[in-house]
Structures are given as structure tokens and as C-alpha cells.
Structure 1
Amino acid sequence: MTVRRSPQTERLVDVVEMLSDPPGRRSSLTAIAAALGLDKATVYPMLTELTRVGWVVKHPTTKTYRLGPALVRIGDAAGRSIAELAPTSRAIAVLAEATGQLCCVVVPSGDDLLIAGVRDARRSQGDGLQLRSGDRITFRPPLGSVLVAWSDDLAISDWLDRNPVPGQCDHRLPERLAAVRARHFSVEQYPANVGGFRDLASAATGAGIRGSRRTTAFVEGQRRTLDMDVLVGVIDERAWYQPLSVSAPIFDVDGDAVGALCVLESSEPVTGTELTRRGELVSSVAAQVTDHLGGSAPWN
């Protein structure tokens, strides 16, 4: 079912996100309208309402706007609502230190996956993915295998049915899910057109790309560039791979996958042996988070 989007709601989100980047930002009505490509008459009523409810504060003399104290309360509430994933902050820091790469934790949200935390240890952060908390990933083949591999047959069938190209290599996906289960981690590798993917990633997640425009561009980039060959099945120890993501699941007390730790964007190709070693590292750290949550992995 196609959901009708609300331009007015999207603009409100854009205003709040703009004022959050960088932290402490203060902007005038004119600057906000120009940055969002809107006229001042459209933006002013939104800022007036955001100010009235305390989401935004207006300086009495400079007439500039900044984020307000009501968002602190909302942020605290959001933090408490995902308190069960608090250990992942330390976990992705450990992985970033060990690998020198961009690392994150993802959680399921309806028919999507959301980035719930990011740690970037790359020396150069100007190219490729510039992820941040709240970014959305499409929960459909080939993405999300690490969270669906241990699900029941109905959930797996539902995931397979989300294949954006019906009938494309469907017979290989169950085999690759079995490989994910066997080794306890998933691997997605760069598509054949690595340069094209990186260009799209930079365009979709770069500086100044916010709100609905960022979400639309990011999701569209995934759809256009990531095909079934991205998901790696059995790893050949003697082959070479350029992994886009190496991920391992986190389980709750019921044995359900509630999130995944991911090491992203390997800068250089690695052998199958090194890829397996990295996957085992991510799986080991994810297992520690599962233990901290009192969870239970299905293979235990």
C-alpha cells in the first residue's frame, strides 16, 4: 500500500533537522527559508508553532531561532524507550576501534530498518556513506538478512516477497540465509559498480542533505544499486571480497533478533579468511550485548 506523504509534515521535520546541524545552530527566518528552498511566508507559521510548544526558541533581539528545551524532554523519552540497546554504544565503539571503520547498530522499525547509533573511525570521512542515527534502510532482499535469518517461515517468506525485482535469483536467497545462520553473521559486498554506488551514497548522505530529501535519496540509492549478488553466501577462504557490511544479530530474552551490529565500508578488498575473521569479531561483540540483555541466541 502506498502511503500518501504530507509535505507540511516533511517541512516541519526539515526545519528541526536543519537547526540540529551543527549542534547549537542559530538561524534567522530568512536563512532557514533559503536553506529549505521555501518562501518566508511558508516557514514563518511553522516556526511560530514550534516556538509556541517549546521545540524552538526565538532570540528576543537577534530574532534567530534555535532548538528548544521541549526537545530535551522528548530526546530523554526516546532514550528510555530504547534503553535495552544502551550496551550497543560501547559495542560499536569497540568495533570501530578494532577495525578503523564506520560501525553502527540497526534496529527493525515496521517494514524498515533504522540506524540507532553510529561510530566512525575512518581517517577520511568525506566520501561514501555519512550515516547518522535515524537513517532508514529498506528491510527487503538483499538487506536485513541478519535479522530475518532466524525468524519463522512466515517472516522469512514475507521478507523474500519484498524482493524489488520479483523472481530475480529468488532460489539463491534461502541458500544464502542458511549460510548466514551457519556462521552467525551476514556479509553484503559492494555491487559491481562500486564507483557508482559510492557516488550515490555521497550524494544521498552528504553534508546538508536532511529530512525527507535525505530519506528519499538514501532509500532510492539502495533500490537502484543493491541487487541480489550483494548478499554473500558461503565464504570462499581463498577468494577476495570488498565487504559493504559485516553484521551480527543481537537477541532478546525470547530469542528474537532485536538489532544488529554492523561494520561498514571496507576501504580495501579482503580475503575470505580475513572476512571470516572480521565476521567472527562482530559476532563475538554482538554475543556480549545479547548476554548483557539477558538474551538467548537460537544456536545456544
Structure 2
Amino acid sequence: MAVARRSPPTERVVRLLDYFAARPGQRFGLSALARELDLSKPTCLGILTELTAGGYVVRDPRTTTYRLGPAMIAAGRAAGEGFGASEIARTHLEELSARYEATCTASAVVDGRILMLQSAGPGKVRLGETYPFAPPVGLMYVLWDADSAFDAWLATPPAVPVRLDEAYLRRVVAECREHGYLVESLTSAGRRLYTLMAGVAAGDLPPEVRGLVGELVSSLGERVYLGADLEPRKKHAVSLLAAPTFDAAGRQELVLTLSVGEPITGAEIARRGAALAAVADAVTAEAGGVRPARA
């Protein structure tokens, strides 16, 4: 399998912009930037000079420090077009996060990869992080969409070797559509999988690593609770809850999540799931979307 070619010069530019973006409002000198990014001063200066010329970075002649420039505002606005629902979701997620003291996110499938769009709460979630949209990752992004979307995802070559129980997954689809949300179990394997796959294209993984990840996560069914699994008074280890928003055509648009990260009772799962689903419905309505009858 061919491995995507990387461009070290471009990667250095991206690292520098990411460094600024992670520290909004701050200014940095050439020496500090070169040291933090492990770049030579001439290389770092060359990048800064080009970014300054394009307006992406501004240099303060008095302090000889740099900060993000106005061109980044225009770029951000352009990138935000088509993600209006995620902006609407941000306020709702902040309220939900405060209510449960939990991390809440909004994400979507963009250009064939899962993209993290919004985050609220105490967790460290990197906006712009991407994940492969292929089994075993991405089930929640097709659960409430048309049947054809689920079938297409299921037919996608897996990101890593994994067993797929199609009959079980279709039960998951049916139940999640009935309840309006998904409950993902808390497993160390699941957490490690997403850590390993963050920002990685399937083709970039060496065969031996793909095999190890496949052994790590042996079945999707181990990570999803069905209604029959959740006893009201019994505590269940839950990683997160997820619910969908829909666009004007009734297609699944965003996935909103509410992190849990601890055992909670089945009754509490139902309460939080209902709260998350209500937020998702509110975002759908405010964004001009329509919940399809099948969902």
C-alpha cells in the first residue's frame, strides 16, 4: 500500500501556525519560536518572513515579536463556511458542559475524515484533529444517516484489521435511532485506539502496527451498549454519549458528544442521553435542519 508523501518544509509552517493558534493573543520572539519548534533561526526567520508578507503573521517592530495576523481571520471565516451548525452548537455545548462538568464536542465527516470542530469543558481536545473515517472508527457518523451511508461505511476497507459483526451493528443502528443517542463503553482499548489513530491516515501505518491495533480492538460490539445492557440501578462504565444533528435535507450533519469517563447508573445514562439529544435537536432546529422520520 502506498504511503502518502510528506513535505518537511510545509510541515514546519504548519507547526508554527499551530503553535500560534494554541496560544491566542500571545507574542513570541524569533529565538523563542526557533527553540520551542526545534528549528534553526534562519529557517524559522524565513517562514516568519513569508507569513508576515502574506498577512498571516504580524511583526511588532518595537519588540521584534510576532503574533497571528489579519489574514488568518479571513482564512478562518472561509473555513467556517459550511460549518454554521457547529458555531450554533458551541453555545449549547458550553451550557451542557457546565451542567455536567464534562467535556462536550462537535465533529463531522469532512473530505472523508472525521474532523473535530468544537469543544467545551475541561478536557484537552485539539480542534482540527482528524481521524480516519473507516471501520472500526466512525460508526456514530452514520448511525442516524440514510441506510446507504451506513452500508457505504461498512464496505469501506478497515483502517485496521477488525472483526465486523454486521447483524449486531444493524441492531445498534436500530436502537440508536429509537433512543436518539449512542452510549459508548469505557475501555482502555477504545481510548488507546483513538490516540493511535489521531491525525493518521490508514495508509501511513506500517503493516505490523496495523496488526497490533487490530488486536487491540477486536470488535466494535465491545464498545457500544444496547438498551438491554443498561439496568437502571446498576452502574455501567461509560466513555461518552453521542447524538446527531441534521441538515436541511435531513442528512446527518454533526455528532455531538458528552463525555462521562466513569461508571454511572442506567437511569443516569438515560437522563444525560435525553439531555444531549435535546441539545442536538435544538442545534438542528436553529441551523434550519430537519430531523428525518427514520431517526
The 3-state SS of whatever aligns with 1:149 is: coil
Q: Is the 8 A contact 1:235 1:276 kept in 2?
A: no
Matched, 1:133 2:127: yes
Amino acid aligned to 1:240: K
- Structure 1's 164 and 81: CA in aligned 2 closer, same or farther, altered over 3 A? closer
Cα offset for 1:153? Answer: 4.0
1:57-108 deviations in Å (ceiling 9; x for gaps): 1222432221112112222333444224332122102211221100111122
Q: Is the 8 A contact 2:132 2:159 kept in 1?
A: no
Matched, 1:290 2:284: yes
The aligned counterpart of 1:209 is none
**2-side partners of 1:81 and 1:235: how far apart?**
38
Matched, 1:230 2:223: yes
Amino acid aligned to 1:72: I
Identify unmatched segments of 5+ residues in structure 2. none
Cα offset for 1:165? Answer: 4.1
Alignment of 1:1-300 (within 5 A): 2-120=3-121, 122=122, 129-160=123-154, 161-166=156-161, 168-171=163-166, 172-192=168-188, 197=192, 215-216=199-200, 224=213, 228=220, 229-238=222-231, 239-264=234-259, 266-299=260-293
- Structure 1's 167 and 55: CA in aligned 2 closer, same or farther, altered over 3 A? closer
**2-side partners of 1:142 and 1:243: how far apart?**
18
The 3-state SS of whatever aligns with 1:242 is: strand
How big is the alpha-carbon RMSD for the aligned residues of Structure 1 and Structure 2?
Answer: 3.1
Amino acid aligned to 1:183: H
Q: Is the 8 A contact 1:187 1:245 kept in 2?
A: yes
Identity %: 31
Q: Is the 8 A contact 1:251 1:258 kept in 2?
A: yes
Cα offset for 1:167? Answer: 5.2
**1-side partners of 2:135 and 2:236: how far apart?**
20
- Structure 1's 273 and 287: CA in aligned 2 closer, same or farther, altered over 3 A? same
Show structure 1 runs of 4+ deviating over 6 A. Answer: none
The 3-state SS of whatever aligns with 1:255 is: coil
- Structure 1's 73 and 232: CA in aligned 2 closer, same or farther, altered over 3 A? same
1:188-222 deviations in Å (ceiling 9; x for gaps): 2222458x749x95xx9xxxxxxxxx8359x999x
1:235-273 deviations in Å (ceiling 9; x for gaps): 523253222221110011111011121101x24201222
Q: Is the 8 A contact 2:250 2:290 kept in 1?
A: yes
The 3-state SS of whatever aligns with 1:22 is: coil
Cα offset for 1:47? Answer: 1.1
Amino acid aligned to 1:179: E
Structure 1 stretch displaced more, 34-43 or 48-57:
34-43
Structure 1 stretch displaced more, 60-69 or 98-107:
60-69
- Structure 1's 88 and 274: CA in aligned 2 closer, same or farther, altered over 3 A? same
**2-side partners of 1:107 and 1:85: how far apart?**
9
* TM-score (norm. length: structure 1): 0.80
The 3-state SS of whatever aligns with 2:175 is: helix
Q: How many residues align?
A: 279
Q: Is the 8 A contact 2:34 2:44 kept in 1?
A: yes
**2-side partners of 1:79 and 1:179: how far apart?**
33
